[in-house]
Structures are given as structure tokens and as C-alpha cells.
Structure 1
Amino acid sequence: MRRFFNSNFGTWASLDARTSICEETAKDTPDIQEDRKDRNMSIPRQSVTSQPDSFAHITLAGDDQPATRPSSQIPRILHQTCKNETVPEIWADSQKSCLEAYSDYEYKLWTDELAREFLSAEYPWFLETWDNYPFPIQRADAIRYFVLHHYGGLYLDMDTVCHKPFPMDQIDNGILDNSLFQATLPTGITNDIMISTARHPAFASAISLLPTFHRLTRLWARLQPYAAIMISTGPLFITLATADYLYGEASLPSPTVQVINQTDLTPYITDLQTATWHGTDAHVLKWLADKPLIWFVLGAVGVVGGIYVLNKVLLFLYRRVSLIIVSVVGFVVKATKMCLGEWVVAYRLSNKWQLWK
């Protein structure tokens, strides 16, 4: 059983490792395989305890021995993404607040151009998928997984207002692989804010699955953009990829994926939720989300409509099959009559020939 700590409830959650949540998974890329070979998983046993403070549950303990690894595992790097270096006015203040809050961090603004150059140098196998994404937000989603896998650090959306820096000393727990996600409904975790050590296997799982999920959604992405984006690169994707990693790993003494409630992050950040990528389909689905009566009516209409259409299809097929059967039987009867008629004529002619002789 693979375990992770859910700070929303202050309890341990378990995932059964017998089956994988992703039936079709992409093969590990060479850099991920090499990364796994280099890992030394013989680390001190540690545990995580739940305490009232937002980040207080992330502590060092276990076997009465201090961790032998460095106290700072998560790189002090702040990652953000933007189409180009000209940040839209709607995000100017929020970006400034984060630059001030994390003034002692290295700052990386990943533009479309820089992102592609980075992938070309470090993950060239992904360029085909990258270039074929139909929506820019899919590239903005994907690059954050790659840079966290490669560099580690903190990722924040551009519409995030920073009040004060996260207590990284408390988040750091001395284990080799460590990550923190924010809980969200209904998917599980969100990709708006992510904290991770470099080469975390959860992000290795994510980047290896990106091409697979692109193939699953590319044929209908234009018809339902919101659902396609959520599944191929968005919050639902990272939830499934992280769960797939947890399902596939043996039980370790320390949790490598930690989830924190949005309310616990209020002292540190405010999400403006500009959602500039949302289209009409997204707004309709969000409007319907808290209206169960409408869903019931739509479901009932769908069932009745489905039965009506099925009835029409079956009736059409019945008529066509009936016509085909009648035509075949008629042809057989006609052919039989013709054959019998020719035989009778031949027989009579034969008899006349015998009489003449």
C-alpha cells in the first residue's frame, strides 16, 4: 500500500497498489529510466504527524535518528508561465507581489519561446506532442510539469497574489522525494500551485503520460475544449498521473506526496481565478455544476431521447433487413423457376429427338 498525507483531514490515506488507475501508460523515456537507476532509496525512516497549523504537519521524526540528508531539498526557485515577457496588465500586480514575497528565490518566467527551447534541449522526445497541442493552455500546463521535474522548486499561476512566502523549512522534510499539492474539487489536486524536489517520480509519471493523454483527447478536443484540457494536461490529468505513481510504488516509510487544503493557504496566497482560458463550454459546465435539478432534467431528456433514437434505428434496420430478405427470397425463387423451366424445355426437346429418330 502506498501512503500519502492528506492535511485536509489530518489523516493517512491509502491507495491499493494492486491495480493502476491508467490502463494505458506511456513507456518511460530514457532520461526517466536513467534517473531511476541513480536513485538511492535507502533513506532514514520518517513519519508525518498532524498538527493544527497549516504546515505544522510536515515535521522530521522516526527511529530517534535525525535525517542525514541536507535540510533543504526543495530548490528555492519560483516558476511562472506567460506567453511572452510582456505580462498582461491583469496579472501585473499579482506577479509583483510574488516577486516581492520570494525576492530571495531564483525567478524563472517560462515564455512559449523559452519553454520550447528548454524542451528541445532536455526533453526532445516531447516536441511532437508539444507542437500538436490545439490550445495554448495545454502547453502552459505541460511546461510546469517538466520544469518542476527538471529543476524542482515552487510553481505559481500568474493570477496568484502572494502575501508572504511559504515556510519551506517546514515543508522540507529531508526525504529524497517531496512534493506538495493543493486540494481541489472535484478532480483531487490542482496544478495552480505545486512544490517539489527535482526529479520527483510523481512528475516523472506525469511527463511520461502526457503523450498518451494527448492521443486520447486529440480527436474530440475541438468539440469539448474544457474537458479535453482538464483531461490531457489540467488538474484532472495531474491527479490521475500522481495517483498512477502512488499505485505503482511499494510502501515507503515516508510520504512523498502531500496535499493541503485551500483554506490553509489563505495566509500565504490568494487565487484571483481569472481563468482566461475558459471558453463558453467551461462557463456552461460551471454554471450547471451546482444545479442538480437541471442535471436531473437533462438526464431524463437524454434517456428518453436515447430510447427514441434507438427505437428509430432498430425500426430502420428492421425495415432494411426485411427488404433485403424479401429481395433475396424473390431472387432465389425466380432463379429456381428459370432453372426448372430450362430443364423442362430441354427434357421435352430430348424426348422429341428420340421420337424422330
Structure 2
Amino acid sequence: MRLRSLTALLALLSIVLLVGVVVPGVLRFVHMFGAHPGPALTQEEIEAAYNSTRGEKTRPQRIPKIIHQIFHNWKDPGNESIPSDWDEVRATCKTHNPDFEHRLWTESASREFIAENYPWFLKTYDGYKFPVQRIDSLRYFLILKFGGIYLDLDNGCSRDLLPLLYYPSFLIDGGKGTLSNNIIGARPGHPFWQLIVDSLIPWSFYYILPYFTIHYASGQWFVTAIWNKYFSRMPADVDEEDNIYRVMMDMGEGGARWVFFTQGRGGSWDNWDNYFFSYIGNVMVPWIVRNVLWFPVVGAVVFGGLYWLRGRSVRGMKGYKVVADMA
């Protein structure tokens, strides 16, 4: 009896763990690849809104004229000269935005910034297993502290970025899968980036594989999960200063036209599992969310309907008895 009771208890605990922890965790993970809450704008809409109010002081500029970019040469430590193609891409932003402050954060300058302004994070910063995680986390602290616009070095500018400065904060939505952290902007001290910074240590785990760890501990999966959390807490009458926008940058066919940015060579942090899981994350999971996850719901409805009809048939057989087979 004791063994049977122990088995039943373990079974009950397993069910509780499955229902209370595993299933919600899986649902939260899958939810990151679905539709995202919060306001979205195409680059054309941002351009049109700026042109319609040009010369009129109807909207305040919220984001300062600073462009942050980061270069950590982990393949050749100590060499702070960026590759020529990235330097050319970076030059496009200087050309189109000559009155902006352009800051390039090297590895030594980055660590000094964290040590001076956020010493409580230095142990986590130094302890990241993959160097790109330091770049991921650093951009959040820079935007929180100084405000401005952050761009990856493989993103350039095709025109001036002034129209983007009239929004309190923004990041990029590629239209498929999770949100992106390759281009972000904000006023200093924006609460979304404060929540991002506060969440870095609690999310700082090794998730078995490099791709999972980079994306889920500090990268775009992490940003998307915190985005969902931020909007779940946001009141309906949110102050515009605390709002944050998704700027649509779908590179696929039929996507909204690009106005402000260009795309160059990326892939500087790819690991052995990156291409495989990138395909799963950007293509397979969104397809499953759109086309497969509703199957169990339909199945449950169909099964429930058949079960209900069968029950009606049995209840309708009043006055009859089931006679045993005499054969």
C-alpha cells in the first residue's frame, strides 16, 4: 500500500509539474513567435508623419541625436579596427546624419562603461559564455543611460534618422517570428529598457545549446519575452512617454518598404547550430503557430461534439435493455 501511495503521489506531482510549469512555459515560448502586442508603424508612416508636421512644433523630439554602435573583436582581441565593409556601412550614417553624435563602443570602452555605471552587472557581463551576449546586453544599458539609436554594424542609413526621434522608443519587427534587437531607439530612462536591464540577470542561464542561450538569455527571444511582459502590465491609458513602437522591417517579398536603413553583411557570431535553429525559429515555428496549433482545439471540439451526440443516443434508448449475447 505504501508503494502504491508513493507512486500515486509521484504521479500527482508529475501532473502538477506538467500543468503548472512545463505547459505554461511552452505556451509562453510559442507565444513569442505569434502576433506581438503594442503599436506598429511602417517606415513610410513614420516618414509621412514627420513630413506632415515639418516646420511645426506640434511634437517634441524625444530621442537625442546619438547613434551607438559596438565593435568587439573577439577573434583578434585588442584589435579595435573594424572591417572595411562595416566601416563603409557605418559611414552612410555619418553622411546622412552629420549633426548626430556617433559613438563606437570598443571592448575596453564597453567594459569600462559597465564597471563605472552598472557595477552590479559586471560579474554577469564578464561571465557570459558567448561574447555576443556582452554586445546584446551592452546595447540595452547604453540606450537606457544615454538614449539615442543603436544600430548593428551591418545596418546602414539610407537617409537622415530625424523622423524616428519623435517617438519615445522603438525596436524592429521583421514581420516573422520574434522581435529584433539589431536596431533600437529610446529616450533616456525609458521604462521598457529598465525592465530589460533588470531582467538580464534572472534570465542569465545556459540553455543547453549556443543558439538557445544567445537568443533566450540576452538576444531577440529574450527581448520579445520581456516585450510581452511589459505590455501585459501596461494600463490602457499609458502615458505616451512610456510607450514603445514596433517599426516594421520585413525583408521578405511584399514587406513594407524600407526608408531609413540598409542591410549589409552579418553573421559574425554564428555557431554550429545557428543556421539550423534560425530556420526553425524564423520559418518553422511561425508556420506551426499559424497552421498546426489549432488542430488540437478543432480535434477537441469535434471529439466533444461526437461524445455529446453519442450520449444523447444512449439517453434516448429508454425502455430498452441490453440482452446478453446467447451465442
Indicate yes or no: 2:260 matched with 1:268: yes
Aligned-pair CA distance for 1:90: 3.5
Where does residue 75 of structure 1 map in the other structure?
A: 64
- Specify which of 145, 168, 173 is matched with residue 183 of structure 1: 173
Q: Do the aligned residues in 2 keep the contact of 1:191 with 1:235 (CA within 8 Å)?
A: yes
Aligned-pair CA distance for 1:171: 4.4
Where does residue 226 of structure 2 map in the other structure?
A: 241
Where does residue 164 of structure 1 map in the other structure?
A: 159
Distance 1:264 1:248 in 2: 29
Distance 2:278 2:212 in 1: 12
Q: Do the aligned residues in 1 keep the contact of 2:177 with 2:283 (CA within 8 Å)?
A: no
The 5 A counterparts of 1:299-318 are: none
Report the 3-state secondary structure (helix = DSSP H, G, I; strand = E; otherwise coil) of the residue aligned with 2:183. Answer: strand
Q: Which amino acid aligns with 2:184?
A: M
Aligned-pair CA distance for 1:89: 2.7
Q: Which amino acid aligns with 1:87?
A: I
Report the 3-state secondary structure (helix = DSSP H, G, I; strand = E; otherwise coil) of the residue aligned with 2:45. Answer: coil
Q: Which amino acid aligns with 2:233?
A: G
1:141/1:265 CA distance change after superposition, 3 Å: farther
Q: Do the aligned residues in 2 keep the contact of 1:189 with 1:238 (CA within 8 Å)?
A: yes
Aligned-pair CA distance for 1:273: 4.8
- How many matched pairs? 233
- Indicate the structure (1 or 2) with the bigger Cα radius of gyration: 1
Indicate yes or no: 2:41 matched with 1:7: yes
Q: Which amino acid aligns with 1:266?
A: W
Indicate yes or no: 2:111 matched with 1:116: yes
Where does residue 87 of structure 1 map in the other structure?
A: 82
Between stretches 71-80 and 264-273, larger displacement belongs to 264-273
Report the 3-state secondary structure (helix = DSSP H, G, I; strand = E; otherwise coil) of the residue aligned with 1:212. Answer: coil
Distance 2:195 2:212 in 1: 21
The 5 A counterparts of 1:128-277 are: 128-168=123-163, 171-172=165-166, 178-214=168-204, 217-218=205-206, 220=207, 223-251=208-236, 252-254=238-240, 256-262=243-249, 263-264=255-256, 266-277=258-269
Unaligned runs of 5+ in 2: 1-36, 73-78, 250-254, 289-327
Unaligned runs of 5+ in 1: 9-50, 296-357
Aligned-pair CA distance for 1:270: 1.3
Q: Do the aligned residues in 2 keep the contact of 1:148 with 1:203 (CA within 8 Å)?
A: yes
Q: Which amino acid aligns with 1:167?
A: L
Report the 3-state secondary structure (helix = DSSP H, G, I; strand = E; otherwise coil) of the residue aligned with 1:78. Answer: strand
Aligned-pair CA distance for 1:286: 3.4
Distance 1:59 1:149 in 2: 28
1:60/1:249 CA distance change after superposition, 3 Å: farther
Question: TM-score, normalised to structure 1's length?
Answer: 0.59
Distance 1:235 1:130 in 2: 17
Distance 1:206 1:285 in 2: 24
1:243/1:92 CA distance change after superposition, 3 Å: same
Aligned-pair CA distance for 1:71: 2.2
Where does residue 300 of structure 1 map in the other structure?
A: none
1:269/1:129 CA distance change after superposition, 3 Å: same
- Specify which of 71, 92, 99 is matched with residue 97 of structure 1: 92
Distance 2:177 2:284 in 1: 18
Where does residue 12 of structure 2 map in the other structure?
A: none
Query: Could you report, residue by residue, the CA deviation over 1:180-221 in whole angstroms, capped at 9, with x for unpaired residues?
Result: 11102544321111111000000000000001111xx22x4x
The 5 A counterparts of 1:28-107 are: 53-56=45-48, 71-83=60-72, 85-107=80-102
Aligned-pair CA distance for 1:167: 3.4
Between stretches 199-208 and 244-253, larger displacement belongs to 244-253
Question: TM-score, normalised to structure 2's length?
Answer: 0.64
Aligned-pair CA distance for 1:7: 2.3
1:246/1:157 CA distance change after superposition, 3 Å: same
| Identical counterparts, % of pairs | 25
1:72/1:279 CA distance change after superposition, 3 Å: same
Report the 3-state secondary structure (helix = DSSP H, G, I; strand = E; otherwise coil) of the residue aligned with 1:53. Answer: helix
